[in-house]
Structure 1
Amino acid sequence: MRPLAFLLALTLAAPVHAFTAQNGLVVEPDGDGFVVSWRGLAGPDSFWCAAGDYAIRALRLNPTQIVYRASPPKRKAGEPVRFTLDPSQSAAKTGLFVLGARGGGITAGHAQGLCENRRPRNSSDRGAD
Protein backbone atom coordinates (compact mmCIF):
# COMPACT_ATOMS: atom_id res chain seq x y z
CA MET A 1 0.00 0.00 0.00
CA ARG A 2 1.33 3.45 -0.86
CA PRO A 3 2.13 5.73 2.09
CA LEU A 4 -0.58 8.26 1.19
CA ALA A 5 -3.20 5.53 0.78
CA PHE A 6 -2.14 4.03 4.13
CA LEU A 7 -2.51 7.39 5.90
CA LEU A 8 -5.93 7.92 4.32
CA ALA A 9 -7.08 4.44 5.37
CA LEU A 10 -5.79 5.05 8.89
CA THR A 11 -7.61 8.39 9.07
CA LEU A 12 -10.89 6.85 7.93
CA ALA A 13 -10.59 3.90 10.33
CA ALA A 14 -11.15 5.88 13.54
CA PRO A 15 -11.74 9.50 14.49
CA VAL A 16 -8.61 11.46 15.37
CA HIS A 17 -9.63 11.82 19.03
CA ALA A 18 -10.37 8.10 19.37
CA PHE A 19 -8.31 5.84 21.63
CA THR A 20 -7.71 2.19 20.80
CA ALA A 21 -7.60 0.10 23.96
CA GLN A 22 -5.20 -2.80 24.34
CA ASN A 23 -8.02 -5.22 23.46
CA GLY A 24 -8.71 -3.41 20.17
CA LEU A 25 -11.96 -1.68 21.16
CA VAL A 26 -12.24 2.00 20.25
CA VAL A 27 -13.03 4.57 22.94
CA GLU A 28 -14.19 8.10 22.15
CA PRO A 29 -14.96 11.09 24.38
CA ASP A 30 -18.69 11.77 24.63
CA GLY A 31 -19.82 14.87 26.50
CA ASP A 32 -18.77 14.42 30.11
CA GLY A 33 -18.08 10.72 29.64
CA PHE A 34 -16.81 8.35 26.99
CA VAL A 35 -18.18 5.62 24.74
CA VAL A 36 -16.72 2.21 23.96
CA SER A 37 -17.83 1.14 20.51
CA TRP A 38 -18.93 -2.37 19.73
CA ARG A 39 -16.59 -4.41 17.56
CA GLY A 40 -17.44 -8.03 16.89
CA LEU A 41 -17.94 -10.42 19.77
CA ALA A 42 -17.43 -8.34 22.90
CA GLY A 43 -18.88 -9.02 26.31
CA PRO A 44 -19.13 -6.78 29.37
CA ASP A 45 -15.56 -7.54 30.43
CA SER A 46 -14.26 -6.35 27.04
CA PHE A 47 -16.08 -3.03 27.36
CA TRP A 48 -14.85 -2.57 30.93
CA CYS A 49 -11.28 -3.44 29.86
CA ALA A 50 -11.39 -0.69 27.24
CA ALA A 51 -12.94 1.78 29.69
CA GLY A 52 -10.30 1.11 32.35
CA ASP A 53 -7.47 1.23 29.84
CA TYR A 54 -8.77 4.59 28.51
CA ALA A 55 -9.18 6.02 32.02
CA ILE A 56 -5.63 5.08 33.02
CA ARG A 57 -3.61 5.51 29.82
CA ALA A 58 -5.51 8.29 27.98
CA LEU A 59 -7.06 10.28 30.82
CA ARG A 60 -4.11 9.50 33.14
CA LEU A 61 -6.40 8.81 36.07
CA ASN A 62 -5.32 7.01 39.21
CA PRO A 63 -6.21 3.28 39.09
CA THR A 64 -8.30 3.80 42.25
CA GLN A 65 -10.64 6.22 40.42
CA ILE A 66 -14.15 4.80 40.13
CA VAL A 67 -15.47 4.50 36.58
CA TYR A 68 -19.23 4.14 36.18
CA ARG A 69 -21.26 2.48 33.50
CA ALA A 70 -23.76 5.11 32.32
CA SER A 71 -25.74 3.03 29.83
CA PRO A 72 -27.84 0.39 31.56
CA PRO A 73 -27.15 -3.30 31.00
CA LYS A 74 -28.20 -5.24 28.93
CA ARG A 75 -27.06 -3.63 25.73
CA LYS A 76 -28.48 -4.71 22.40
CA ALA A 77 -26.20 -6.31 19.81
CA GLY A 78 -24.10 -3.70 18.06
CA GLU A 79 -24.71 -0.96 20.63
CA PRO A 80 -21.84 0.89 22.32
CA VAL A 81 -21.50 1.22 26.09
CA ARG A 82 -21.24 4.68 27.66
CA PHE A 83 -19.10 5.29 30.76
CA THR A 84 -18.74 8.27 33.08
CA LEU A 85 -16.77 9.43 36.09
CA ASP A 86 -19.88 11.08 37.56
CA PRO A 87 -21.66 8.82 40.09
CA SER A 88 -24.94 10.68 39.55
CA GLN A 89 -25.00 9.39 35.93
CA SER A 90 -24.31 5.79 36.96
CA ALA A 91 -26.47 2.90 35.79
CA ALA A 92 -27.75 0.73 38.60
CA LYS A 93 -25.49 -2.19 37.62
CA THR A 94 -22.09 -2.76 36.02
CA GLY A 95 -23.15 -5.66 33.81
CA LEU A 96 -20.43 -7.73 35.50
CA PHE A 97 -20.63 -10.21 38.35
CA VAL A 98 -18.51 -8.47 40.98
CA LEU A 99 -18.63 -9.49 44.63
CA GLY A 100 -19.16 -6.51 46.90
CA ALA A 101 -19.83 -4.06 44.04
CA ARG A 102 -22.34 -1.33 44.75
CA GLY A 103 -24.00 0.53 41.92
CA GLY A 104 -22.68 0.73 38.40
CA GLY A 105 -18.99 1.38 39.03
CA ILE A 106 -15.65 -0.29 39.63
CA THR A 107 -12.13 1.11 39.90
CA ALA A 108 -10.24 1.94 36.72
CA GLY A 109 -7.53 -0.52 37.81
CA HIS A 110 -10.04 -3.34 38.24
CA ALA A 111 -11.53 -2.54 34.83
CA GLN A 112 -8.12 -2.43 33.14
CA GLY A 113 -7.25 -5.70 34.90
CA LEU A 114 -10.00 -7.37 32.87
CA CYS A 115 -7.70 -6.90 29.86
CA GLU A 116 -5.27 -9.47 31.26
CA ASN A 117 -7.34 -12.36 29.94
CA ARG A 118 -7.52 -10.77 26.48
CA ARG A 119 -3.83 -10.37 25.70
CA PRO A 120 -2.47 -12.95 23.27
CA ARG A 121 0.31 -14.92 24.83
CA ASN A 122 3.45 -15.79 22.93
CA SER A 123 5.93 -18.57 23.50
CA SER A 124 8.23 -16.37 25.63
CA ASP A 125 5.37 -15.89 28.13
CA ARG A 126 5.01 -19.57 28.86
CA GLY A 127 6.69 -21.19 31.80
CA ALA A 128 8.84 -24.29 31.50
CA ASP A 129 6.88 -27.52 31.31
Structure 2
Amino acid sequence: MKNLSLAVFTLGFLGVAASGVSAFTSREGSRVNPVSDTVFEVVPLAGGSGRNFWCAAGDYAQRALKTPWEAHLYISRSHGSSETTNRRSAVQFTLQPALAGSPDNGVFASVNSLSRGDNMRVRDAFSLCNQLPVGF
Protein backbone atom coordinates (compact mmCIF):
# COMPACT_ATOMS: atom_id res chain seq x y z
CA MET A 1 0.00 0.00 0.00
CA LYS A 2 2.89 2.34 0.83
CA ASN A 3 4.43 1.74 -2.61
CA LEU A 4 1.10 2.38 -4.31
CA SER A 5 0.69 5.69 -2.46
CA LEU A 6 4.21 6.75 -3.40
CA ALA A 7 3.57 5.82 -7.05
CA VAL A 8 0.29 7.81 -7.14
CA PHE A 9 1.97 10.81 -5.50
CA THR A 10 4.90 10.68 -7.93
CA LEU A 11 2.65 10.42 -11.00
CA GLY A 12 0.48 13.25 -9.70
CA PHE A 13 3.51 15.46 -9.12
CA LEU A 14 4.91 14.68 -12.57
CA GLY A 15 1.53 15.53 -14.11
CA VAL A 16 1.43 18.90 -12.36
CA ALA A 17 5.05 19.63 -13.28
CA ALA A 18 4.50 18.65 -16.92
CA SER A 19 1.38 20.80 -17.27
CA GLY A 20 3.21 23.88 -15.98
CA VAL A 21 6.15 23.54 -18.38
CA SER A 22 4.52 25.62 -21.12
CA ALA A 23 3.41 28.41 -18.77
CA PHE A 24 5.48 31.57 -18.38
CA THR A 25 5.48 34.04 -15.49
CA SER A 26 6.10 37.68 -16.42
CA ARG A 27 8.24 40.06 -14.40
CA GLU A 28 5.11 41.41 -12.71
CA GLY A 29 3.71 37.96 -11.89
CA SER A 30 1.12 37.53 -14.65
CA ARG A 31 0.87 34.06 -16.18
CA VAL A 32 1.20 33.63 -19.92
CA ASN A 33 -0.15 30.41 -21.42
CA PRO A 34 -0.11 29.30 -25.05
CA VAL A 35 -3.58 28.91 -26.58
CA SER A 36 -2.23 27.69 -29.93
CA ASP A 37 0.98 27.94 -31.94
CA THR A 38 0.14 31.56 -32.81
CA VAL A 39 -1.92 32.85 -29.86
CA PHE A 40 -1.04 33.24 -26.19
CA GLU A 41 -3.12 34.30 -23.23
CA VAL A 42 -2.14 36.70 -20.44
CA VAL A 43 -3.76 36.00 -17.06
CA PRO A 44 -2.92 38.63 -14.42
CA LEU A 45 -2.63 37.94 -10.71
CA ALA A 46 -5.81 39.81 -9.70
CA GLY A 47 -7.88 41.86 -12.10
CA GLY A 48 -4.99 43.68 -13.70
CA SER A 49 -4.80 46.95 -15.58
CA GLY A 50 -4.06 47.30 -19.25
CA ARG A 51 -0.46 48.00 -18.33
CA ASN A 52 -0.21 44.54 -16.69
CA PHE A 53 -1.56 42.75 -19.77
CA TRP A 54 0.69 44.61 -22.24
CA CYS A 55 3.74 44.25 -19.98
CA ALA A 56 3.28 40.48 -19.68
CA ALA A 57 2.69 40.12 -23.43
CA GLY A 58 5.82 42.14 -24.23
CA ASP A 59 7.88 40.26 -21.65
CA TYR A 60 6.74 36.88 -23.03
CA ALA A 61 7.30 37.91 -26.65
CA GLN A 62 10.81 39.14 -25.92
CA ARG A 63 12.13 36.62 -23.38
CA ALA A 64 10.24 33.41 -24.26
CA LEU A 65 9.61 33.81 -28.00
CA LYS A 66 12.78 35.87 -28.72
CA THR A 67 10.71 38.27 -30.82
CA PRO A 68 12.53 41.39 -32.12
CA TRP A 69 11.85 44.63 -30.22
CA GLU A 70 10.30 46.25 -33.32
CA ALA A 71 7.73 43.47 -33.89
CA HIS A 72 4.11 44.25 -33.11
CA LEU A 73 1.87 42.53 -30.58
CA TYR A 74 -1.82 42.34 -31.46
CA ILE A 75 -4.83 41.61 -29.29
CA SER A 76 -6.63 38.71 -30.94
CA ARG A 77 -9.34 38.39 -28.26
CA SER A 78 -10.53 41.18 -25.99
CA HIS A 79 -10.67 41.11 -22.22
CA GLY A 80 -12.78 38.17 -21.00
CA SER A 81 -12.68 34.77 -19.32
CA SER A 82 -9.56 32.68 -19.63
CA GLU A 83 -9.48 29.69 -21.97
CA THR A 84 -6.41 28.19 -20.28
CA THR A 85 -7.36 28.65 -16.61
CA ASN A 86 -10.52 29.09 -14.54
CA ARG A 87 -9.84 32.84 -14.11
CA ARG A 88 -12.33 35.49 -15.22
CA SER A 89 -9.75 38.00 -16.48
CA ALA A 90 -7.57 37.29 -19.51
CA VAL A 91 -6.57 38.78 -22.87
CA GLN A 92 -5.24 36.85 -25.86
CA PHE A 93 -2.36 38.17 -27.97
CA THR A 94 -0.71 37.21 -31.25
CA LEU A 95 2.18 38.37 -33.40
CA GLN A 96 0.12 37.87 -36.58
CA PRO A 97 -2.02 40.84 -37.65
CA ALA A 98 -4.44 38.66 -39.64
CA LEU A 99 -5.53 36.93 -36.42
CA ALA A 100 -6.47 40.31 -34.94
CA GLY A 101 -8.47 41.63 -37.88
CA SER A 102 -5.48 43.08 -39.79
CA PRO A 103 -5.25 46.43 -38.00
CA ASP A 104 -2.76 49.14 -38.89
CA ASN A 105 0.39 49.16 -36.78
CA GLY A 106 0.15 51.49 -33.81
CA VAL A 107 -3.65 51.35 -33.50
CA PHE A 108 -5.05 51.47 -30.00
CA ALA A 109 -7.49 53.71 -28.16
CA SER A 110 -5.61 53.49 -24.87
CA VAL A 111 -3.47 51.03 -22.98
CA ASN A 112 -6.54 50.06 -20.96
CA SER A 113 -9.00 49.53 -23.83
CA LEU A 114 -7.77 45.96 -24.48
CA SER A 115 -9.89 45.68 -27.64
CA ARG A 116 -9.38 43.22 -30.47
CA GLY A 117 -6.99 44.73 -33.00
CA ASP A 118 -5.17 46.99 -30.53
CA ASN A 119 -1.44 46.65 -31.06
CA MET A 120 1.92 48.05 -30.07
CA ARG A 121 5.58 47.24 -30.51
CA VAL A 122 7.12 44.63 -28.24
CA ARG A 123 9.51 47.31 -26.95
CA ASP A 124 6.66 49.64 -25.99
CA ALA A 125 4.71 46.85 -24.28
CA PHE A 126 7.80 45.71 -22.38
CA SER A 127 8.53 49.28 -21.27
CA LEU A 128 5.20 49.27 -19.40
CA CYS A 129 6.77 46.76 -16.98
CA ASN A 130 9.01 49.47 -15.57
CA GLN A 131 6.31 52.01 -14.74
CA LEU A 132 5.03 52.64 -11.25
CA PRO A 133 1.26 52.37 -10.76
CA VAL A 134 -0.71 55.63 -10.80
CA GLY A 135 -0.91 57.21 -7.37
CA PHE A 136 2.27 55.63 -6.07
The TM-score normalised by the length of structure 1 is 0.69
1:39 aligns to 2:45 (yes or no): yes
Question: What is the distance in 1 between the residues matched to 2:129 and 2:74?
Answer: 17
- Seen in structure 2, the aligned counterparts of structure 1 residues 57 and 95 have a Cα distance that, compared at 3 Å, is farther
Aligned counterpart in structure 2 of residue 79 of structure 1, from 65, 89, 105: 89
Is the partner of 1:115 in helix, strand or coil?
A: helix
Distance 1:118 1:53, change over 3 A: farther
Q: Gapped runs of 5+ residues in structure 2? A: 1-8, 82-86
Distance 1:33 1:40, change over 3 A: same
Q: d(CA) in 2 for partners of 1:63 and 1:81? A: 21
Is 2:132 aligned against 1:110?
no
Q: Which amino acid aligns with 1:70?
A: S
Q: Is the 8 A contact 1:45 1:96 kept in 2?
A: no
Alpha-carbon distance, 1:65 to partner: 0.5
Between the two proteins, the alignment pairs up a number of residues equal to 107
Tell me by how many angstroms 1:71 deviates: 1.2
Q: Give TM-score scaled by structure 2 length.
A: 0.65
Flag as ranges the 4+ runs of structure 1 deviating above 6 A: none
Deviation at 1:79, TM superposition (A): 2.3
Alignment RMSD: 3.1
Greater C-alpha radius of gyration: 2
Q: Aligned-pair distance for 1:82?
A: 0.1
Give the % identical residues: 30
